[in-house]
Amino acid sequence: MSSVERVVLGISGGVDSAVAAALLKDAGYDVHALFMRNWDEDEDGYCTAAADLQDARKVCDELGIPLHTVNFAAEYRARVFAHFLAELRAGRTPNPDVACNREIKFGVCFEHAQRLGATWFATGHYARSAVVDGQPRLLRAADRGKDQTYFLHTVPGELLVRTLFPIGHLAKTEVRRIAHDRALPVHDKRDSTGICFIGERPFAEFLAQYLPAQPGPIEATDGRVLGRHRGLMYYTPGQRQGLTLGGVRGAAEAPWYVAAKDLERNVLVVTQQHDDPRLMTREFGTEAANWIAGSAPAREFTCTVKTRYRQPDQACTVTVGDDGCCRVRTEAPQRAVTPGQSAVFYDGEACLGGAVIGGIGPATAP
């Protein structure tokens, strides 16, 4: 390892990127930190960018590394937020964190790091990268509970091999311990949650600024009208919270779940069966996939898949079409596989890649 190699680290003002900066400095790199502002500061107090920048500055001062700041708000709105709104209008459930990694952190931010003279780019993600037999590989983090490869599956492999993940081999508890032992200013800062541009504000309140609400009926699966929904964009298959149905005359005292969204009629269909047939599937299609190695392992292969971040791996068979789209058949029925979310494929420790979920088949698919 050469001490003259420059690393530009994406710093967020949180504990993970702070410890990443400290470890890179200890390893002898010429470390520069880059703070990205991806959302214009608002006036209602929900945006934390100003406070996060101050925390990043304190960390850099403590470690004695230069801090650069850049505003990617325009790129974020054009490349991530516009797509987010379009997907919601189409009745799908998008994942803007996946798009942000592809378009912003490993897009315009990576390019900016190169202009700053970076030999390497680095982030505080919980993930690992490697080159095996000349092929780039994205590997799960040592801390499976914090692993973030799900959100990195669209990053091109040629960029991953030029990226360092300094905390990918550490447990979160160890990261906290290092931050405390080094007396880093953010050692006790709580982790951020939720979508970055929404922050802690109410989702419906935020979204109403950009998409007009279209209330409509809530129907049971037998066609009975049970109430009114606020707008289909606020709901996703399998959702239990936020239906505001309360007790329904003639119905059991059991929770209600979103079973389907009928866009043509603007109807939200609900059920009291947790595993309603409308929510279960063993087969679904995807859009064209991104493969970390540059191509799929084969036209048809077996692996495991996650259709949401916290889901345990599910055994499946993947068939790749001529257009790059995939057909995924799972061994066991899956609940609430959601169009617009990501199906991410794994072979043991390696994240193979993934794709946006499209059409959903029945639970009885072979």
Cβ neighbours around 139 below 10 Å, total: 22
Type of residue found at 313: D
> Which residue in 284, 336, 358, 360 sits closest to 87, CA to CA?
358
Q: Please work out, in degrees rounded to the nearest 5, the angle formed at the alpha carbon of residue 151 by the alpha carbons of 145 and 152.
A: 110
> What is the spatial distance between Cα 31 and Cα 120, in angstroms, rounded to a whole number?
10
Residue of 47, 60, 109, 196 marked active site? 196
Write down all domains in the chain, each with its CATH number in brackets.
6-181 (3.40.50.620), 214-271 (2.30.30.280), 279-360 (2.40.30.10)
How confident is the model at residue 260, as a pLDDT?
94
Pairing of strands 120-122, 128-132: unpaired
Instruction: Give catalytic status of residue 325 as yes or no.
Output: no
Per the prediction, the chain carries an average pLDDT of: 91
Helix or strand holding residue 351 (H, E): strand 350-360
> What is the spatial distance between Cα 5 and Cα 183, in angstroms, rounded to a whole number?
26
Cβ neighbours around 305 below 10 Å, total: 26
Type of residue found at 134: G
Question: For residue range 215-270, what is the model confidence (pLDDT) as tens digits?
Answer: 999 999 999 999 999 999 999 999 998 887 766 665 667 889 999 999 999 999 99
Residue 11 has pLDDT above 50, yes or no: yes
Residue 298 has pLDDT above 60, yes or no: yes
Instruction: Give catalytic status of residue 316 as yes or no.
Output: no
Which residue blocks in 170-224 are alpha helix, DSSP H?
Answer: 172-181, 203-207
Please answer whether residues 34 and 195 qualify as being in contact, where contact means their C-beta atoms are separated by less than 8 angstroms.
Answer: no
* Residue found under tokens 């801090």: 67
Question: For residue range 16-33, what is the model confidence (pLDDT) as tens digits?
Answer: 999 999 999 999 999 999
Collapsed DSSP state (helix, strand, coil) of residue 203: helix
Q: In what order do the strands lie in the sheet with 120-122?
A: 67-71, 30-37, 6-10, 120-122, 163-164
Pairing of strands 267-271, 280-288: unpaired
> What is the spatial distance between Cα 156 and Cα 43, in angstroms, rounded to a whole number?
36
Residue-wise DSSP of 330-341: EEEEEE---TTS
Q: Mean pLDDT, to the nearest integer, of 196-208?
A: 72
> What is the spatial distance between Cα 157 and Cα 136, in angstroms, rounded to a whole number?
5
Q: Quick one: tokens of 119?
A: 């030999």
How confident is the model at residue 197, as a pLDDT?
61
Q: Mean pLDDT, to the nearest integer, of 162-180?
A: 97
How confident is the model at residue 296, as a pLDDT?
97
How many Cα neighbours within 13 Å face the side chain of 260? 17
Residue 169 has pLDDT above 50, yes or no: yes
How confident is the model at residue 366, as a pLDDT?
33
Residue of 47, 60, 100, 303 marked active site? 100
What is the band of 50 on the pLDDT scale with cuts at 50, 70, 90?
confident
> Which residue in 250, 280, 298 sits closest to 360, CA to CA?
280
pLDDT-wise least confident of 88-97, 146-155, 298-307, 318-327: 88-97
